[in-house]
Every structure is written in structure tokens, then in C-alpha cells.
Amino acid sequence: MPVLRIEKLSGGYGASDVIHDVSFDVEKKDFLGIIGPNGSGKSTLLRLISRILSPAQGSIALQEKDIHRIRLKDLFKEIAFVPQNTIIHFPYTVWEIVLMGRIPHLNRFRSETRKDFEIAERSLALTDSLVLKDKRIDELSAGERQRVLISKALAQEPQVILLDEPTSHLDIGHQIEILSLLRKLNRESGLTVLAVLHDLNLAGEYCNRLILIDKGKIIRQGLPAEVLTYQTIEEVYKTVVVVKENPFSHKPYIILIPK
Amino acid sequence: MKNRTKLLLLLSALIIAVILGISKGSVSIPFVELFQRQNSAILQLRLSRIVVGILVGAGLGISGVIFQALLRNPLAEPYVLGVSSGAGLGAVIGMLFGASGIPIQICAFLGAVLSIALVYTLAREGSKIPIQSLTLLGVTVAVLFSGIIVFLVSISSNESMYGIMWWLLGSLAVFNLNAMIFVAFAVIIGSVTAYFYSRELNAISLGEEEAVHLGIEVETTKKILFVLSSLITASIVCVAGIIPFVGLIIPHMVRLLVGPNHAILIPASAIVGAMFLILCDIISRSAVPPLEIPIGIITSLIGGAIFIVLMRQTRKVK
């Protein structure tokens, strides 16, 4: 049974659909990457799955149950979302932010219990961010902030974590750090990861499966080596590339050819 | 320092402010003599102003916190959606039709409620209320209504219409018990509800999508809280006029003291707002006796000065 099953999904903003007839499964313990050119609908697809947008057609099922038939609170006990844009207007501490991850599990008239504090603390530990606990979120570097937001997502104790370009504003050191962290969580804690990624090489390196979309449709899906071929990339990105093998990881490695 | 300790400290400061408010005034009477029979009228007068000060200060503080969180805008304040000019317009129209006294307050309240309803209706898109449209339309409606108020006042031959200008500057001198009970009801119900929504407010202050991703029904929550805080503000405006700056700076000041977590920010803003208004009222009553300076002028002057100092202080600490 797949964790998430997306079937014949179409939808977008208002009257115009951005996503057209998209179907795929996310299996348990997948590290699934969604790639595609700018404006191809990657983020829209993710926002349909996280119920920010409503599908025009088709369905999204979490463990065979339509996500629109699940209470919002219950849904976000199972899935968590890490956004791309991480500007926070108010000076919350890291601890306060991570505790917010417990909101789906809490009742309005009950305050956090020791169990919630323990889970929040463990979530911070998992991303090596315990030292940041008492810092203010606006004092952190971009990489630290991203780790804290992943901790907040982990505090929800989700089965699936959705990430919208989690590394887009980071330097290469932090990009590797965040993706390695996700891989560790994926392998050691059995967390299912569904991430929109911009960088094809990083996507090929870390994901066990890739979905390439363009103009709202799936062009190809499968293993990184099946998706990241020079023919497909040239066709979709309209640019000439050479695909080699990374000598260390034996994953596909894309070399850009300047015009 | 623990949150509870901070709240207790603020509460003790409020008690000191209350005692000061009872003992200071345009006539100086020793504190113990206030409780003798011949001074009971003065005591009653001062007590009623203190009660109004607490209600209005707490209400404006909380309503400011809610607006700033929902609109994610540090410049948001209780009057941002045009409540104040709506109330003013209601009162002016009431006067044009010859109302005076309590009916004017009712007209003001109706004006406030109708202006909020107008702003919501204009801003609404389907079942959603986008905050940018809401803010812009609120400001626009406020300017529009203020224009109409000034126009009506200037063409009216009724001398008493000029009184509206004074009324709009705000005062804590409320002599009507029913109006006070009404405000108390709105402020208490609103504050308690807001407190139980503090987790939602925390999440929404991060962003609306963020809040959805924590399982919060954002649009419903927004509607409930907008209506509540607008009702608090409307009821305050129609008894105490427009007291500027409290709803804007109290949340900022309190955030510097206790941080942005609404579970403590809401009660702390209520306490500090109440305290601030009592102190401003003491100055307004006793600065140039026997005249009373409109409290709105005091809140602007003192609030502005305190805020600039606080901002500079925290920047230095950083």
C-alpha cells in the first residue's frame, strides 16, 4: 500500500489548471524528488498535496483515504511541510517554533505535556540543533533556520515530510548538510520524503526516485539514471548537457555545456 | 525569568498604577481621607475612570495584538479596518438627526460595526479574506469616512457638532453604567476567547500556509478573531472615543518584555495596556488643573517617547 497515491490530479489557482492529469505513488520510505524547469508546476503540485489548493479533478489519498475527507488536524499528524520561504516576522525562540509542531496533536484547552516537550527536544536533537534551543529564530543563519524548520516538521511526528526546495537559498555546504540530514532521517527513522528540488545533480544524488514534470505534466518518472538522461534534459530544459557518472557515488552527474 | 513571574510582576505594577490613579487628581486629597463619606463622590468618579481605563487599555492592547498577528504587519492597530471613522461617522449622522447622549453611542457602535462589515464584504474573495486587500480597504474606508465626517461637521449649522471632534479625541470620563457594562462584556469575552486561540495566533503569525500545515482552519479562525477584535474596538470607541497609539505600541512594548508567544503576550498586553491608560489618565487629569487634556494626546506623546527609547535600548543590546 503506497503512503500517498496521486491519481489523475489536475488543479491550480482559480480557473486555470497548472497541473494536468498527474498520477504517481509515494511508497513508504521513499526519498522521492520532484524536478522540473521554473514554472513547471512543482510547487503547485506540492501545495495540492498539502491541501493549500483544492484539486479541480482527480484525487490524493493518504493510506487509501482521500486527504479532503481527513480532518485537517489529523492530516497534519501524518504529513508535515517544510516551506521554501522561511522569513518569520516575529522574534520567536527556536524552542517556541519547534513546539508549534505539536499543535496538530494538542487540544485547545490543554497545554503541552511532558511528552510534547520530550518530542520537541528529540526533534531538535535529530537535526543537531539542540544548541540553538534558546536562540531567537531571526538570529540564525539560513542553514540553521532550515534545520529548525525541519525539526518543527519532525515534532509533528509525521510519516511523510514534504519539502519545497529546501536548499534553494543555501550555499553548497548547507545544501549537502540539509539533504544528508534528510537522507539520515529517511534511512534511520523510516521517514518518507517528498521534496521539490531545483538542482538536478543534488536530486540525482539523494533521491531514490525522481519525477520530472514540465508544463504541469509528468514527463518521466523512475530511478535517477532513468530520468536524468541527456535527451530528456535537453528536451525539457532546452539546454545542451552531458550526463556522466559521479565517480564516487555512481549516480548520474550532469555537466553543463555553455552556449 | 518564568512567564508566570513576569505576569505577576506586571500585575503588581498595575496595582500600583491603580492606587496612584485613586490618589491623584485635579484636587489633592490625602489617600486615607478619600474613603471618608464627604469624599465619596470623588472616590467614585476616580474609581469609575480607573475601571474604564482598565477595560479600554486591556481591550485596545489585546485587539492590537490580534490585528498584528492576523495581518502579520507590525503597523497594524485596532483602528486599521476603519472602526474608528465608522464610529465617528455613525455619531455624526446620529447628531444630524438630533440624537444626544446614549443614542449617539449606539449610533457610533452601529457605524463601527457597519464599516467593518463593509470592509470585510469588499475584501472577501469567495470564502477567503486576503489580508492585503483587507488592510488596504480598511485604510481606504477610514480615509473616506473621515472625509465625510469633516464635510458634515463643516456644513452643519449645529454648534454641538464641533463637540464630535473632542469626543473623537477620546476620554475615560464615562458616566453611564450600562455602557460600561457593555464594554466590560465585550472586552472580557473577547480577551478570554483570544487567549484560547493563542496557539492558532502563533501559527498564523508565521504565515497562513504555515498555519494550515499545522492543521489549523485558518479562514474560520481569522473570521472569528477579526469579528471579536473588531467588536472589542467598536465598543471601546463608542464609549471612550479614539485613543490612538495604545493598540499599536502596547503589543510591541510587551513583545520586548515577554517575547512574541501569544499565550503570554495576550494577558501581558492586557495588563500593560490597562496600566498605561491609567497612568496617561492621571496625567491628563492633573497636568493643568482644572482643565483636562484629551487622553489621546497624552497617549500619543508618552507612548511615542517610551517606544522610541525602548527601540533604541534593544538595538544597543543587540
Domain ranges in chain B? 3-317
Q: What is the mean pLDDT of chain B?
A: 86
Buried b (16+ CB within 10 A) or exposed e, A11-30: bbeeeebbbbebebbbeeeb
CATH topology for the B3-317 domain: ABC transporter involved in vitamin B12 uptake, BtuC (1.10.3470)
Percent of all residues in chain B with a pLDDT value above 70, rounded to a whole number: 92
Which of B298, B195, B184 has its CA nearest to residue B243? Answer: B298
Note whether A103 contacts B214, CB cutoff 8 Å: yes
- Per DSSP, the three-state class of B128 is strand
Pair A77, A102: CB distance under 8 Å: no
Give me the residue spans of the domains in chain A. Answer: 4-89+157-256
> A84: helix, coil or strand?
coil
Q: ipTM score here? A: 0.92
- Which residues of A are less than 8 Å from B256 in CB distance? none
CB neighbour list of residue A121: distance below 8 Å, 6 or more residues apart: A130, A133
Ramachandran assignment for A224, one of left (phi > 0), alpha (psi -120 to 50 degrees), beta (any other): alpha
- Band of residue B261 on the pLDDT scale cut at 50, 70, 90: very high
Q: What is the pTM of this model?
A: 0.90
Tell me the residues of A at the B interface, defined by beta carbons under 8 Å apart. Answer: 47, 50-52, 71-77, 80-81, 83, 88-93, 96-97, 100-101, 103-104, 106, 108-109, 156
Q: How many Cα atoms sit within 13 Å of A251 on the Cβ side? A: 16
Cα–Cα distance, B266 to B247 (Å, whole number)? 12
Mutate to test the interface with A, among B192, B213, B225 (most CBs of A within 10 A): B213
The pLDDT value given to residue B316: 56
Nearest Cβ partner for A72 among B210, B217, B261: B217
Residue A196, C-alpha cell as written in the block? 521539490
Say which residues have a Cβ less than 8 Å from residue A119's Cβ, sequence separation at least 6. Answer: A102, A155, A157
Point out the residue among A52, A81, A103 whose CB comes nearest to the CB of B203: A103
- Which positions in chain A touch B214 (Cβ < 8 Å)? 76, 100-101, 103-104, 156
Quickly count helices (H) and strands (E) in chain A.
9, 12
Q: What is the DSSP-derived secondary structure letter of residue A66?
A: E
Confidence of residue B318 (pLDDT cuts 50, 70, 90): very low
- pLDDT for res B1: 66
Measured distance CA(A154)–CA(B194) in Å, rounded: 28
| Strands of A65-66's sheet in order across | A16-26, A4-13, A55-62, A65-66
What are B25-60's pLDDT values in tens digits? 767 777 777 777 777 788 888 888 899 999 999 999
- Of A47, A75, A83, which has the smallest distance from its Cβ to B215's Cβ? A75
What would the pLDDT profile of A159-204 be if each residue is shown by its tens digit?
999 999 998 888 898 899 899 999 999 999 999 999 999 899 999 9
Identify which of B188, B62, B194 has the alpha carbon closest to the alpha carbon of residue A108: B194
Measure CB to CB from residue A106 to each of B197, B199, B213 and give the nearest one: B199
Cα B275 to Cα B282: distance, rounded to the nearest angstrom: 11
Which of the residue ranges A193-202, B43-52, B158-167, B288-297 would you say has the lowest mean pLDDT? B158-167
Local confidence band at B72 (pLDDT 50, 70, 90 cut-offs): confident
To probe the interface with A, which of B72, B128, B205, B214 has the most A CB atoms within 10 Å?
Answer: B214
pLDDT digits (tens, 9 = 90+) for A70-117: 999 999 999 999 998 667 888 899 999 999 999 999 988 888 899 999
Structure confidence at residue B26 (pLDDT):
65
Could B210 and A51 be called an inter-chain contact, meaning their C-beta atoms sit closer than 8 Å? Answer: no
DSSP state of B217: -
Minimum distance, in Å, between the CA of residue A104 and any CA atom of chain B:
6
What residue of A is the nearest CA neighbor of B219? A52
Residue type, position B210, single letter: E
Mean pLDDT along residues A220-244: 92
Confidence (pLDDT) at A228: 93
The domain A4-89+157-256 is placed in CATH, from the list 3.40.50.300, 2.40.50.100, 3.40.50.2000, 1.10.760.10, at 3.40.50.300
**Cβ-contact A214, A46 below 8 angstroms:** no
Q: What is the nearest CA distance from A91 to chain B, expressed in angstroms? A: 6
Q: Among residues B17, B54, B18, B25, which one has the least CA distance to residue B42?
A: B25
Placement of cell 497624552 in the chain: B298
d(CA B14, CA B123) in angstroms, rounded, equals: 39
pLDDT digit string (tens) for A19-61?
A: 999 999 999 999 999 999 998 999 999 999 999 999 999 999 9
Across the interface, which of B74, B215, B255 has its CB nearest the CB of A104? B215
